[in-house]
Amino acid sequence: MKTIGLLGGMSWESTVSYYQIINRVVKERLGGLHSAQCLLFSVDFAAIEACQAKGRWDDAADILAEGARRLERGGADFLLICTNTMHKVAPQVAAAVSIPLLHLAEVTADELLHRGMTKAALLGTRYTMEENFYKGVLQQRGIEVLVPDAKDRAMINDIIFQELCLGRIEDASRQKMLSVIDGLRAQGAQGIVLGCTEIGLLVRPQDSEVPMLDTTLLHAVAAAEMALA
pLDDT attached to residue 201: 82
| Better-predicted residue by pLDDT, 7 or 84 | 7
Q: How far apart are CA 180 and CA 93, in angstroms?
A: 33
- Please report the pLDDT score of residue 86 as a whole number: 92
Which pLDDT tens digit goes with each residue over 87-124? 999 999 999 999 999 999 999 999 999 999 999 999 99
Query: Quick check: 120 and 144 in contact, CB under 8 A?
Result: yes
| Better pLDDT: 13 or 36 | 36
Domains of the chain and any CATH numbers: 4-103+218-228 (3.40.50.1860), 104-214 (3.40.50.1860)
Contact 101, 29 (CB under 8 A): no
Q: What is the pLDDT of residue 135?
A: 92
Using DSSP, state whether 60 is helix, strand or coil: helix
pLDDT band at 70 (very low <50, low <70, confident <90, very high): very high
pLDDT band at 208 (very low <50, low <70, confident <90, very high): confident
Q: pLDDT class for 130, splitting at 50, 70, 90?
A: very high
Residues labelled as active-site residues = 83, 196
**If DSSP codes are grouped into helix, strand and coil, which group holds residue 148?**
coil
Give dist(CA 227, CA 229) in Å, integer.
Answer: 6
Residues 6 or more apart whose CB falls under 8 angstroms from that of 50 comprise 56
Q: Is the pLDDT of residue 166 over 90?
A: no
Identify the band that residue 207 occupies on the pLDDT scale cut at 50, 70 and 90.
Answer: confident
% of residues, the chain, pLDDT over 90: 80
